[in-house]
Every structure is written in C-alpha cells, then in structure tokens.
A and B are shown apart, each in its own frame.
Chain A
Amino acid sequence: MTSSGAFRERLLEAWMEIRENLGRASLQALGVLLGVASVLGGFSISDSQRQRAEQLYVRLGGLDKLNVQPRATVRDGQATALQQANLGLRDEDATDGDALRPDAIQGVSSQKNARSRVVSGFADQDRPVTGIGGDFIPANGYAVEAGRGFSASELEAGAPVAILGTEAAATFFPSGSPLGQVLRIGEVPVTVIGTFQERVFRFREDQRNIFRWRNRIIAVPANLVQRRMNGDAYRRVDRITFRIPDLKVMAAFSKQLQDVVTANHRLQDDFRLDDVQARIRRQNSQGDVYDLIFLLSGVLALVGGGIVNVNIQMASLKERVREVGVKMALGASGREIFKGFMTEALLLTALGALAGLVLGVGFSWTITRSLGVPLAMTPASFIWAYVMASLSGFLFALYPAWKASRLSPMEALRYE
C-alpha cells in the first residue's frame, strides 16, 4: 500500500474517533479555536488600527511629503555678514530639488505665509493667509469645489485672486456665493475665484473632524504674498514640499537634497529637512507593541488550550489503553499507534483552527466595528494564526501519542 493510502486510512480512523467522541473532541478543539481566534483577532485589530493610523498620517500630509523649512541660524547677537547675505529658503531650492529626481517626485509646492487683517462686507478678522505655489492644492489634499483654481500665469504674476476653504467662505460671505466677491487682505483687494471642498477626517466616526482647521484656509498665489504683503528682497519662502510616495526613494532623495540646498545656501545650515529615517522607524514600529501583546495572548491561549488537551488526551488514553492493546495484538507497531494518535490530534487541531479563523474574523469585525475603524486583515495574520495553532497542536500531541505508543501490548490488553 502506498504511504498516501496509509495516511488516508489513518485520517479516516482519526475522523471516526473524533465523530464517536464529539464531546471530548470539541472540548479539545476549543482550546485551539480560541487560540487561533485570539491570534487572528489580535493581529487584525492591530492591522486595522495601523491602517487607519497610516491613512490618517498620509491624509494629514505626512508620510509622502518631504518638507524643507527655514531655520533661524542667529539666535543671539548680530548675524555675520555671510548669514545676512544668505538667501534663505527660495523657489530655486524647489527647482533644483525637482531637477534631482524628476522621475520620483510627484509634486513640488512652496508656501509663503502671511498674517493679515482680512475684511469683507460681513466680517473683519485677523487671519493667516496662505501663499501657495506649485502643486500645493493636490499635494495637500485640497480640491476646488466651486469656481476654479489658480492659473499658471496668476501664480507667476501674483495676481490678486483667492480660493477659500468652507469655513472661511462661510465666515466672510455667509449669504450668497462668494465667487466674484472681493476680500480685502491688508491693503490688497483680492477677488474670490473659487472655494475648496470641505475637508473631513475623523479617526472614529463619533469623533470630531480633525481637519476642521483646514477649512479656514485663505489661499492666494505665493507671489502675491511675496510682492504685496510679506515679501523681502530675497523672495524667501516658508516651506518647500516634495511629494514622494516611496519612502525609500524619499530617504535617498533627502540626502541629495541636503547637499544641493546646503550648496545653494553657501554652506549655511539655515534650513531644516524632515527626518525621513525617523519616519521610517516610526512607520515600521507602528503597533508593534499591540502586535506583541496580541501575539502573546494568542500564544498563552494556545498553550493553555494545549495543556488542557494533554490532560484530556491523557484521561482519554486511560479509556483507550485496551483499544491500543488490541491494535497492538493485531500487529500495530508502536510507531503506527503514535501516528494514529498524532493524526487524530492534528486533524482536531486543523478543524479547531479553521473554526478559530472564522471566529477570529467575526471577533475582529465586531471589535473594529465598535471602534468605528474599517476592518483590515492580511493573509499573513491568517497564516500566522494557523501555523501557530498547528505548531502548538503538534507539540502538545507529542506526549500523549508517545505515551500511547510506548504501552506494552500485554499490559494494555490486561488493563481494566
């Protein structure tokens, strides 16, 4: 007979044994089931949280953006001539950076901010004004809802035009459409040509809108701020942002950019790049602690279940000593008995683990739903849960199977 035939026979035998002792078998499978469910559930809940956190991160303008910002080099006393002559962060830095890796960079934008008195027919407030350049609107997750965006010539010329966030639009023009209306920013009359879509992001459904402040934006061309509001001779900007989705590419790029900008700035360390390495570390370690806790609780459940199984198996072995004796008398070797017990235990483990996966999905779904987080499950979690259960099932089956295989046929037959 082929070995696969022998295996099938053992499987059949194991199945009969399980079916005949459904109560005991379910009890044994329960340990595995709970272990698998808790491993899978733990991983999935942690994956879901992580995915949510990553989404938040990306949407907050985090992971895919490399920012360059000015840094004050002179804290005390007078600036040196070199420091004074230094140009600060400029559009040229953006252009030079872009030229480094045009293939990997999905967008470059610059920002020149001002704080100013903003007046309409309805409101008169002191507000931040965002001067934007490049791909600022898409790169920062904004989208024009009504009206239009800035044209290239408007950006270039610093035309007196503005796009408002929903909150700004509602504040300065509470009735009627803001489009075509005039807003006075400082001394400059500016025409509203568009409004942005409302920005909404909640970590959980019942939480408040984390992006609410983004709806307060009053966007104008950066060159308008530069020329007529808050400019200087060097055309300094407040922030340059490169959009690079691939973190590894970003890490390499940031090193090159550092050199380029340092050269542009006459070796003055008056700017600051985002720390990409820290970002990578943070991303990699997101939820690690939770994974560990869940893994540990799963392992504990499996170990607990395994110990219970050993006990049940040893107790049931007492009932089955005679059966083992009979099989041995008929010619079953110790090895055959061992394989029989192992097959039974592994079949039980497999069935329990399958049920555990189902329960685990249900469990994760319930928990993530109650947290208001979308469920995220990865194939790796399923594989982990299954492999761990099989491993523990295997390990804890060894002792009873070994005990059974070592029975003396004579004594086993005499056993009452």
Chain B
Amino acid sequence: MSTIIRTQGLTKVYGANGTAVHALRGIDFAVEKGEFVALIGPSGSGKSTLMAILGCLDAPTAGTYELDGHAVHGLSGGELARIRNGKIGFVFQSYNLLPKASILRNVELPMLYAGLGRRERRERALALLEKVGIADKADKLPAALSGGQKQRVAVARALANEPALLLADEPTGALDSRTGAEVLDLFRELHAQGHTLLLVTHDPSIAAQAERRVEIRDGKVVMGGVAEDPTSSAQPGAHPAAHHIGVGR
C-alpha cells in the first residue's frame, strides 16, 4: 500500500498583509492508493483551495506536499504541468469542457499534451467514452450534451492519461439529484476498479458513500485527516515509525 497524497503543514494565504486571507492554516493530510475520500466542509472553508494545491494548479504558501512519493512543492511551472498531465485527473463542478472542440478532442487533449500519436489518442479516447457510456456522442460539441453527459465526458477526459489521482470538486453540484446519483455511481465504479478518488462535496448523502470523510473548517482539518488504522492511532505524517507499522493494512 503506497501513499498517493501526503501533506504537512500546508498553508495558503491569498493577498498580502492587511487584506490577507488565510485559506489554509496548516493541513496535515494523507490519502492512500485506491482510497475514495470525500472532502467536506462549509462554503469558504478552503476545500477548493486545497484541491487546487493537491492538483498542482496552485502552489502552497508554506508546507510540504508529496504526490506519489515525490515532493511537489517548489517545482517549476513546466514540471507542475507535466504532473497535472500525467498523474492527475480533474473533474470540475462546471465541467470545463472546451466548447469549440468536439467531445472526442476534449478527451484527446491530455493525451495530446502527453505527446501521444494521433491514432493512439483516438483509440484511447473512444475506449474511454465507451467506458463512461457516451461513445455515440464523440463527434458532437459539448453544447449538444446534457449536464450529466458533459460530466461523463469530463470523467473520461480525467482518465485519459491513467492518472494516479482523480480530483473532483463538487462534481454533482450542477446536476439534478438523479443524474448526480448516476455520476456518483460512475465514481464508485472507478473506485471499485482501483482508482484513487478525492471528491469535494457539501452534500452529506454523497459524502456518506465514500470510504472516508475528511472535514475541514477555516482551513484546518477537523476530522479524518489520515486513514483510520486499526494498529495505530497516530497520524502517519506526524509519526513516521508508527506509520511504518501501519503499512500493509
């Protein structure tokens, strides 16, 4: 069992001095490979900020972050781009599909940045669309799809480069409860296949379906920062030796 995410004292301050907003105030947090973690907390508590840092979209003000065993803090923009491309799949509340590109091209895009050849990209993108159940829409533009379908495309796109980590920030937030539940089923399916999922939600019924719930308030973890471990109550990050014993669940 390996650790995908490990952060220590992660801090994020927006702005400076007088107007500074302390979005994160020392996050110690870990996610093991294959886990399905729900990140919950009230609006403004810093969930999106944490997701952005975990997804290498933003850099922390202080603290350390190891992704899949490699230190990420302090890397250059180009290196972060490569990590986002290869190790992370994003699913956003607002889908964030490129409106002018076809569904197929949307899914191909991460592979394009990874330098995959045309034929391989196409085959893989079609397979992924098949997997999320909308292969027949490959040539359509995003505008022609319903919200649920768009989010499936986003999931297919997130999976394009076989990422180590899937990050979803309120993926069902813009969907009605029925399609939301369908998308959630898709996530559970992915989890069952071994994907590591970190999902932000403020909906307790969705959070209830995750393996583990992590709650943050005012930029601090107030519950479940690391996986529950029957042999140790210590936090792995805080106590390396204890964590070592805990390995092998």
Contact = CB atoms under 8 A, between A and B. Distances in A.
Given A20-B100, A328-B84, A331-B114, A413 B57 contact: yes
Nearest to B90: A329
Q: What's the dominant secondary structure at chain A's contact region? A: helix
Contact of A409 (B57, B82, B97, B117): B57
Contact of B57 (A5, A329, A333): A329
Contacts of B114: 331
Contact of A16 (B81, B97, B100): B100
Contacts of B85: 330-332
Given A323-B98, A326-B98, A329-B96, A1 B116 contact: yes
A327 B100 CA distance: 13
Interface in A15-42: 16-17, 20
Given A1-B116, A327-B109, A413-B57, A333 B82 contact: yes
A413 B96 contact: yes
B18 interface: no
A20 B90 CA distance: 26
B77 interface: yes
A330 B84 contact: yes
A209 interface: no
Contacts of A6: 115
A336 B98 contact: no
A380 B115 CA distance: 40
Interface string B62-96: 00000000000000011001101110001010001
A408 B81 CA distance: 11
Contact of B81 (A9, A322, A333): A333
A326 B96 contact: yes
A331 B86 contact: yes
Interface in B114-136: 114-118
Contact of A328 (B57, B92, B98, B112): B57
B82 A331 contact: yes
A47 B3 CA distance: 74
Interface residues of A, number: 25
Nearest to A8: B118
Contacts of A410: 52, 57-58
A221 interface: no
Interface in A320-351: 322-323, 325-336
Contact of B117 (A1, A329, A413): A1
Nearest to A334: B77
B100 A17 contact: yes
Contacts of A409: 57-58, 84
A331 B115 contact: no
Contacts of B98: 323, 326-327
Contacts of A322: 96
Contacts of A16: 100-101
A5 B112 CA distance: 10
Contact of B77 (A20, A323, A326, A333): A333
Interface string A402-414: 0000001110010
B157 interface: yes
B49 to A, nearest CB: 9
B118 A329 contact: no
Given A1-B117, A413-B96, A333 B78 contact: yes
A323 B109 CA distance: 12
A336 B110 CA distance: 12
A16 B99 CA distance: 12
Nearest to A412: B57
B161 A331 contact: yes
Interface string B25-52: 0000000000000000000000000001
B225 interface: no
A325 B57 CA distance: 9
B99 to A, nearest CB: 8
A323 to B, nearest CB: 6
21 contacts: A1-B116, A5-B117, A6-B115, A16-B101, A17-B100, A327-B98, A327-B109, A328-B84, A329-B55, A329-B57, A329-B96, A330-B157, A331-B81, A331-B82, A331-B84, A331-B110, A331-B113, A333-B78, A333-B113, A334-B81, A336-B81
Interface of B: 52, 55, 57-58, 77-78, 81-82, 84-86, 90, 92, 96-101, 109-110, 112-118, 157, 161
Given A16-B100, A328-B81, A330-B157, 16 more contacts: A6-B115, A9-B112, A16-B101, A20-B100, A328-B84, A329-B90, A330-B84, A330-B90, A330-B113, A331-B110, A332-B113, A334-B81, A336-B81, A409-B57, A409-B84, A410-B57
The 5 A-B pairs of least Cβ separation, nearest first, read A331-B85, A333-B81, A410-B58, A331-B113, A1-B115
